[in-house]
Amino acid sequence: MDLNFSPEESAFRAEVRNFVGEKLPAHIRDKVMNGVHLNRVDHILWQRTLHQRGWGGPGWPREFGGPGWTPTEQYIFEEECAAAGAPRLISFGLKMIAPVLMAFGTPAQQARFLPKIMAGEEWWCQGYSEPGAGSDLASVKTRAVRVNSPEGDHYVVNGQKTWTTLGQYADWIFCLVRTDPAAKKQSGISFLLIDMKSPGVTVRPIITLDGAHEVNEVWLEEVRVPAANLIGEENKGWTYAKFLLGHERTNIAGIGIAKRELARLKRIAEAEGRLADALFAARVAQIEIDLMALEITNLRVLSAERAKKAPGPEASILKIKGTEIQQAIAELMMQAVGPYALPFGQQDVGPDYAANLGAGYCNLRKLSIFGGSNEIQKNIISQMILGL
């Protein structure tokens, strides 16, 4: 197993670094580097900038309009973008529903949805979690009943989804729905694509601890969905859901982002004189060691993918440790500035770099919950690796 980058991969890194340095708008870079929330326009601007370069679908194969990058090249791209202060690409379209469409969608579905995802013309959100079905997704109760009619076969959907990230911006939502209530939990679920402009779809904001409107609850009341929007086979949605979650948990590791935020932590700690505190400095060093170990683990996964091996329980390891590291960095940033971290977003209280630290800490508590809680990921590891 060779974990070193080849000369070609090093040249690719230089190409990405030069492009991002030239094309990333300064106002977006400043927001990312200082932990300021990005808006819809910021995300779409960067997505369209990448699309113009032919990089709108990082990691997508050429047959679907992507650059045909290897997993290692995709990793390099994400690391360089994070280091330069580029926004993290919104994954719901690019890295979640797109791979499902490529693997299980019909040619008509692929032609309809994939180009608009890559061009930043349509925004997607995820309709998995419900009030009684979070990490236990097999308990979803949102119901879809198929109706055969002269106007066209369709489903009538009723139910509620929650914690729908950036659903207020979304044009489409991919949903797990129950189509056979008599079947075993995993066997009676289907995977539907729903237009957010459909009559009966209501988005209600959930304001989080940091005062931000990032997540929502989505109500579906007598929503008509064309049967052509079914992914794969009816009642086989659990298969497609598991496929999608493997991609989501690998992406959550966010190693490039963690590296950038660790550098930010060091700058803040230096400015506050905290690195002279041996205990504080030791905690920073431990996070850096953990991050280096996580990166090696991620590179091992990439090496396996070169041999066409899909991520298995390793995705759960990356998810657990990656989220823990990001949370630990946010906690130390807040501790470094002390009470100046408490007034969320107030630039006139304390140093400028302290304004968003408390809000950022609160926001990142979610990382160990979404994408399958870390406790559930530990169960997956114990079953699949340890055989318990």
- Catalytic residues, which ones? 248
Burial class (CB in 10 A: 0-12, 13-18, 19+), 303: middle
CA neighbor of 253 nearest in space, from 78, 84, 385, 378: 78
Residues in CB range of 219: below 8 A, 6 or more apart: 160, 201, 202, 203, 204
Phi, psi of 159 (to 5 degrees): 160, -170
* Number of residues assigned to the chain: 388
Longest dimension (CA), the chain: 75
Scored b (16 or more CB within 10 A) or e, 219-245 reads bbeebbbbeebbbbebbbbbbbbebbb
Residue 75 CA to residue 94 CA, distance in Å, equals 15
In contact, 85 and 262? CB cutoff 8 Å: no
Q: How far are the Cα atoms of 33, 173, 220, 334, 344 from residue 362, in angstroms, in the given order?
A: 18, 26, 29, 10, 10
Residue 332 CA to residue 284 CA, distance in Å, equals 8
The helix (run of H) or strand (run of E) holding residue 204 is strand 201-207
CA neighbor of 138 nearest in space, from 191, 193, 188: 188
Sign of the Cα torsion 109, 115, 118, 121 reads negative
* Residue 192, beta-bridge partner list: 175, 230
In contact, 172 and 196? CB cutoff 8 Å: yes
Which two structure tokens, joined as six digits, stand for 155?
A: 């489903």
The helix (run of H) or strand (run of E) holding residue 74 is helix 71-84
